[in-house]
A and B are shown apart, each in its own frame.
Chain A
Amino acid sequence: MKGGTELEPTIHEINSNKIIFKKKSLLTIIKKNSASYIMLAPYTILFVIFIVIPVLSAVVLSFTYFNMLQVPKFIGFQNYIRLFIDDDIFLIAVRNTLIFAVITGPVGYILSFVFAWFINEFRPKIRAILTLIFYAPSLAGNVYFIWLYIFSGDSYGFINGRLMSIGLLKDPIKWLTDPKYNFTVVVIVMLWLSMGAGFLAFVAGLQSINKDLYEAAAIDGLRNRWQELYYITLPQMVPQLLFGAVMSISAAFAVGAQSQALTGFPSTDYSTHTILLHMLDYGTIRFEMGYASAIAVILFAIMLISWQVVNNLLKKISND
């Protein structure tokens, strides 16, 4: 159902029974729906200024050289060419971001669903406690830096200390600064943080599935849990799955802050560098706004494409 413009028949020629449709003028449409538009106005103004314009100007600025002090200078595709041909660190960042995205994204997404599905088995009280337990890391927000104390590279870090006292380790491992390990550390922390709004939506959605469907299916001969999951639960959950997907994609590609806090900025050998951090590097440190905008545009493109792909995939499940 589209909110298209309304057509109003205006009878111009009565005698020949012809009715010519005349589109309502823009002004009448606005006046008729004035309440709607006025209510939307405060939010829309902010939305346009702080989201639409930044995104559009990122696209525009990506074709310029702009250092905040002088007027932007148009340089065509130079930024993009430099990104893909000349910038080794960018390519490292892309690789890292994609790996992080696959782990935080699909893996975190599937884990969220699996845990929500398991939690759904239990009584409301136990469900509430388990939900709180799994959602707690996301709730705590910015406190992921506590992992610094667990993975600290000296013998005072909890893990180093324990392993050394058991004798498994002779010297402390520099978890956070050694390129061999710090990537894994960031992955662990990202997984820890991945039970977010999507997880809550899954828990809620699973509860709201009509129980009669399960009973009807049992009568019809459904034999085990997996069939139940595939034929009933998942199709009923598609709206929540879509929502979880949006949240996952949004979080997966925006990995940056955690990597920065845990392994430094820049990380040793740029081992945990992400596209976002690369963008922040050029934007907030070197003030090469044009180049940073080009990186931002690439990030937007990746996210939008992923979202389209996932959207189509999930819509297919609902149609099966």
Chain B
Amino acid sequence: MKSIINSKGQVKISRRRMRKKKKLSRSFGGDAVILVFLLVCGAFTVLPLIYTVVNAFKPLNELFLFPPRFFVRHPTLDNFTTMMQLAGSMWVPFQRYLFNSLFITIVGTVVYVLIASLAAYPLAKHKFPGGMLYFQIIVSAILFRPEVTGITQYIIISKLGMINTYFAILLPVFAGSFGVFLMRQFMVTFPDDSIEAAKIDGAGEYRIFWSIVMPAVKPGWLTLIIFTFQGLWNTTGVSYIYNENMKVLPTVLGQIATAGIARAGAGSAVALFLMIPPIVIFVISQSSVIETMSHTGLK
């Protein structure tokens, strides 16, 4: 290969070589094949969801056609009214379930993001005894999902008298380590110089945290808001909440949906209702999420 170091010892790449060295063997044909492959797999991924959306608008006579048809001919909103009727017919009106879900989701998200960010800041920027060890424990704790700690967690929640309250769902979520991990990884990339400058100007730690670091790590907590929102919105709280008044939307809607295929219409309406909020929020903030996720590496 012709040397690219010229007589002055500089690395010079001729224009022709620049154009040639673009990328390794990236042919248009190859890219097209990959795109087709991805679209086929993507179809497998997305078709069930589309099928659900379509089903939600099918009138009863189209739902149980044989052979089954994919698309809908005469869309109707009947299934949604059925869904609300069914949900509302169990002692408690539909709005109550909706309120429970919204309350838990919104309050839970806000509080968790605050607590997790507050804990993540010292782990990211302060040096103190036990810091590294604490962080290792946090990372390992990601393994211990609520599902697997559920049994003994139930005992504690019950002994604390929190069964049938919002706390039963919220507090274990606040103890989750994923948020702390995410925020810490993102905060680590915040330049120390800005913090030093603020300290010289006399700012206290809390001031630095709130006014300087947090605005800068917005993609981080935005992503955490999305993940937490999605988790809380979809949580059913099955083992902890038995009181009809306190039940959340997914639990109730899940009961409708798993009642079998006879309820396919209402069940699809349920699924549509449940999946819209997380998807919409993700679409809006996708770039922030991707940016945050690039920092989640474990060293």
Q: Name A's B-contacting residues (CB within 8 A).
A: 1-6, 29, 33, 35-37, 39-40, 42-44, 46-47, 49-51, 53-55, 57-58, 61, 68, 115, 118-119, 121-122, 126, 128, 130-137, 139-143, 145-150, 152, 154-158, 161-162, 164-165, 192, 195, 197, 200-201, 203-205, 207-208, 214-215, 218-219, 221-225, 228, 237-240, 242-243, 246-247, 249-250, 253-254, 256-257, 261, 276, 279-280, 283-284, 289, 292-293, 296, 299-300, 303-304, 307
Contact = CB atoms under 8 A, between A and B. Distances in A.
Given A146-B52, A150-B51, A249-B143, A68 B297 contact: no
B297 A240 contact: yes
Contact of B267 (A126, A145, A218): A145
A143 B153 contact: no
Contacts of B42: 130, 133-134
Nearest to B236: A142
Contacts of B204: 35
Interface string B102-143: 000000000000011011011100111111111000011111
Interface stretch (B71-79, B84-92, B190-198, B274-282): B274-282
A215 B21 CA distance: 7
B52 A143 contact: yes
A55 B144 contact: yes
Q: Which of B68, B257, B278, B292 has the largest count of A CB atoms less than 10 A from its CB?
A: B68
9 contacts: A1-B132, A40-B123, A51-B176, A140-B49, A145-B258, A155-B66, A221-B1, A224-B24, A225-B24
A293 B24 contact: no
A250 B23 contact: no
- Between A36, A61, A228, the greatest number of chain B beta carbons within 10 A of the residue's beta carbon is seen for A36
Nearest to B34: A118
B290 interface: yes
Given A158-B68, A239-B299, A57 B115 contact: no
Contacts of B21: 215, 218-219
B116 to A, nearest CB: 6
B161 to A, nearest CB: 14
Given A46-B115, A146-B52, A279-B148, 7 more contacts: A43-B175, A49-B156, A161-B66, A240-B296, A247-B142, A283-B151, A296-B152
Nearest to B178: A197
Given A55-B144, A58-B152, A121-B31, A140 B119 contact: no
A147 to B, nearest CB: 6
B261 A222 contact: no
A280 to B, nearest CB: 7
Nearest to B52: A146
Interface residues of B, number: 106
B126 A33 contact: yes
B294 A139 contact: no
A121 B147 CA distance: 37
B200 interface: no
B66 A207 contact: no
Nearest to A208: B294
A61 B291 CA distance: 43
B174 interface: yes
B226 to A, nearest CB: 9
Contact of A136 (B46, B141, B149, B292): B46
A214 B174 CA distance: 42
Contact of A3 (B38, B127, B144, B254): B127
A47 B129 contact: no
Which DSSP category, helix, strand, loop or mixed, fits chain A's interface? helix
Contacts of B134: 40
A207 B37 contact: no
- Closest 9 A-B residue pairs measured CB to CB? A239-B297, A165-B67, A141-B234, A204-B294, A43-B119, A50-B175, A242-B298, A161-B68, A36-B122
A202 B297 CA distance: 9
Contacts of B175: 43, 46-47, 49-51
A158 B67 CA distance: 8
A162 B297 CA distance: 45
Contacts of B294: 201, 204-205, 207-208, 240
B228 interface: no
Contacts of B128: 3, 29, 33, 36-37
Nearest to B275: A140
Nearest to B50: A136
A303 B49 CA distance: 31
A68 B180 CA distance: 33
A214 B155 contact: no
B250 interface: yes
B119 A39 contact: yes
B250 A142 contact: yes
Interface in B224-241: 227, 230-231, 233-234, 236, 239
Contacts of A142: 234, 236, 250, 254, 274
Nearest to A35: B205
Given A40-B134, A142-B236, A303-B143, A50 B156 contact: yes
